[in-house]
Chain A
Amino acid sequence: MPVISFEHVSKVYPLPAGDVVALDAVDIAIEAGEFILVMGPSGSGKSTLLNIMGSLDVPTSGEVTIAGNRISGMDDDDLTLLRRDHIGFVFQQFNLIPLLSVVENVEYPLILKARQNGSRERAEEVLEAVGIAETHFSHKPGELSGGQQQRVAIARALANDPDFLLCDEPTGNLDSKTGTAIMDLLDRMNREEGKTVVMVTHDPRMTDYADRTIRLVDGRVA
């Protein structure tokens, strides 16, 4: 059973100047353990696809199933809990919470899920797994380099042991060397931990890491 399934999914944004079709009858099935790249020119619907996969948005029509849950008819609370329990996000801008220390950022989704504190050990374990030294645990995100921040973001995404990682240009804000290190980390998580990874990128070199690539053009799978 696919971990992500799109059946004839369309997304239309109604605008005063006329409707904009971001996704047009897309069919996708992603199996557990796959490393998938989503590529396409700007405006091709990559972000919309990723948002719907991440249950941050809902389709206008069609059926989306995420980790066995059909998202049609779900309310905001259901979608939020689906994100919390099944999906790990890695953003281009890292999006760490500046109020929190490194380890607290990783602990955050764990506390959201468990509704209590005491997840520090798990947070530290994941941070070590992504290569963050213990000396950095109490630092604030702003005190780390871009590469380190992205590692922390990956640790945060992995903390709740999600069914898949959604990565939105995770190397877009990093130099090539750091970008390669981050890709190696994601590759390792995919191969060794069996994590499903779906990654949006513009960089054709990333295809080396992927099992397959979904190419979008004008909202359709090419």
Chain B
Amino acid sequence: MMFFSFAVRNLRRHWIRSALSIIGIVIGVIAIASLGIMGNSINLLVANIITDVGDTVVITPHTAIGGTFAGDPRTAVDAAIPAREVEEIRRAANPHRTIPVLQGADEVEFGRGESGYTQIIGLASDDIPILLELAEGQYPRQNQPGALVGTYLAAEYDIAPGSKITIGNESIRVAGVLAERGFAADINPDYAIVVPDDWYESHFGANDAYPMVIVRVGDVEQIDAVKDAIENRINRREDIVDVFDSRDMLRQYEEIYQQITAFLVGIGGISLIVAAVNILNVMYISVTERIREIGVMRSLGALRREVLRMFLYEATILGLIGSIIGGIASAVSGYLISLAAVEVFTAGTTFGENFTVFDQSAVGFIAFGMAFGIATSIAAGFYPAWIASQLAPVDAMRQK
């Protein structure tokens, strides 16, 4: 305890120097923890935005880079799966439901002189309720064509069931407004218009090919078996389609956001290393100033390891105080930064509503930041402490 008391007294003797070292650690811990929390929050948010369609297999025409996920800009090629291949897929996936998807774009007039190019998705009328949920209105029926408008598009142009919109030069009644779906592995109708496939083909012309086919598996356990069956049937001789499911997409997004989080934590780590260099400097100055005192302690019977411990106590105390303050501050700042990040990433959407940015990982980042703060402080203090412990008493006492 005596050497601990020495350490405390020495830190108090040079309290400004000690306070500055502590501030360095506080900043480092805050940087690590709050940036980690922010990265984690973005990760959580993205996972929340990506609609869980874990029971869906998506088939797209084979591209040079192979299967990634729908919406990957590298797969934006004008290719389609011929109708006879769709039938092969249907047979391979049987008894699971196969849903061919038509996708195009046209200029749409929303009324009141507002218009713009919009994505148009064509689906078989009986497939629509299986894939999409309604917010209001009703699904189009076989003999009563109607369009379903994505929730954001409807909100932006103030469209309600019963409104009329004009796609190209063809007028169509709005049957319903779709519920928010988020970013999914298959189709993303929040800013699109969904129409029955017969209307789509009469409008755009039929070419018996589909840019995407969705297989609704129902049971997640069977996804791999369905994927294999499709691959074996269609891609036996050459790769005609790419087959993937939303888990692949989530995996890729998770990888990307984990890398972002690691990068952010790395930046925080650098600031903590700067703080550690400051501690090393402070401790080194302390050892240099106290060489004579160390010599006296050693001549009176203090062992090398006791001198080492005394200086390590100093570094530990600095790291501990800095990490505790930093941990508390980063809980607050991490929460605020995360809220801001959610705000920025979900501006104009309802995704961020009721979204919790703090989870176990956030607490983990705080704990990690604090542990890293203490560990780097001790590591930084070790070299000066070791130098102090190795001083020969005679040489140390000779110093002025």
Chain A interface residues toward B at CB < 8 A: 51, 54, 56-57, 76-77, 80-81, 83-85, 89, 91, 95-99, 108-109, 111-113, 117, 156
List B contacts of A156 (CB < 8 A): 300
List A contacts of B6 (CB < 8 A): 99
Contact of B301 among A51, A97, A99, A113 (CB under 8 A): A113
List B contacts of A99 (CB < 8 A): 6, 9-10, 13, 293
Can you sample 30 A-B contacts with CB below 8 Å?
A54-B299, A56-B394, A77-B304, A80-B301, A80-B302, A80-B304, A81-B303, A83-B300, A83-B301, A84-B300, A84-B301, A89-B299, A91-B296, A95-B296, A95-B397, A96-B296, A97-B297, A99-B6, A99-B9, A99-B10, A99-B13, A108-B2, A108-B297, A111-B2, A112-B2, A112-B301, A112-B302, A112-B306, A117-B2, A156-B300
Residue pair A109, B300 in contact (C-beta under 8 Å): yes
Residue B298 CB within 8 A of the other chain: yes
In the complex, how many angstroms separate the beta carbon of A183 from the nearest chain B beta carbon?
22
Residue B266 CB within 8 A of the other chain: no
List B contacts of A56 (CB < 8 A): 299, 392-394
List which B27-80 residues lie within 8 A (CB) of chain A. Answer: none
Residue B90 CB within 8 A of the other chain: no
Residue B1 CB within 8 A of the other chain: yes
List which B291-344 residues lie within 8 A (CB) of chain A. Answer: 292-293, 296-304, 306
List B contacts of A84 (CB < 8 A): 300-301
List A contacts of B300 (CB < 8 A): 83-84, 89, 108-109, 112, 156
Residues 249-270 of chain B, each 1 if its beta carbon lies under 8 Å from chain A, else 0:
0000000000000000000000
Which residue of chain B has its CB nearest to the CB of A81? B301
In the complex, how many angstroms separate the beta carbon of B392 from the nearest chain A beta carbon?
8
Which residue of chain A has its CB nearest to the CB of B298? A80
List A contacts of B304 (CB < 8 A): 76-77, 80
Which residue of chain B has its CB nearest to the CB of A88? B300
Q: How far is the CA of A89 from the CA of B296 in the complex (A)?
A: 9
Residue pair A117, B13 in contact (C-beta under 8 Å): no
User: Which among B2, B9, B292 has the highest number of chain A CB atoms within 10 Å?
Assistant: B2
List A contacts of B397 (CB < 8 A): 91, 95
Residue pair B301, A109 in contact (C-beta under 8 Å): yes
List which B176-211 residues lie within 8 A (CB) of chain A. Answer: none
Q: How far is the CA of A99 from the CA of B301 in the complex (A)?
A: 17
Which residue of chain A has its CB nearest to the CB of B297? A97
List which B107-137 residues lie within 8 A (CB) of chain A. Answer: none
Name the 5 nearest CB pairs between A and B, nearest first.
A84-B301, A95-B296, A112-B301, A99-B9, A56-B394
Q: How far is the CA of A54 from the CA of B296 in the complex (A)?
A: 13
List A contacts of B393 (CB < 8 A): 56
User: Which among A57, A84, A112, A117 has the highest number of chain B CB atoms within 10 Å?
Assistant: A112
Contact of B293 among A57, A89, A97, A112 (CB under 8 A): A97
Which residue of chain B has its CB nearest to the CB of A85? B301
Q: How far is the CA of A206 from the CA of B344 in the complex (A)?
A: 85
List A contacts of B303 (CB < 8 A): 76-77, 80-81
Beyond the given A99-B10, A99-B13, A112-B300, could you list 12 further A-B residue pairs with CB under 8 A, ordered by the A residue number?
A: A56-B393, A77-B304, A83-B299, A85-B301, A89-B300, A95-B397, A97-B296, A97-B297, A98-B293, A99-B293, A111-B2, A117-B1
Which residue of chain A has its CB nearest to the CB of B397? A95
List A contacts of B306 (CB < 8 A): 112
Q: How far is the CA of A56 from the CA of B296 in the complex (A)?
A: 11
Q: How far is the CA of A140 from the CA of B394 in the complex (A)?
A: 25
In the complex, how many angstroms separate the beta carbon of B309 from the nearest chain A beta carbon?
13
In the complex, how many angstroms separate the beta carbon of B292 from the nearest chain A beta carbon?
7
Q: How far is the CA of A112 from the CA of B1 in the complex (A)?
A: 11
List B contacts of A109 (CB < 8 A): 300-301
In the complex, how many angstroms separate the beta carbon of A206 from the nearest chain B beta carbon?
22
In the complex, how many angstroms separate the beta carbon of A140 from the nearest chain B beta carbon?
11
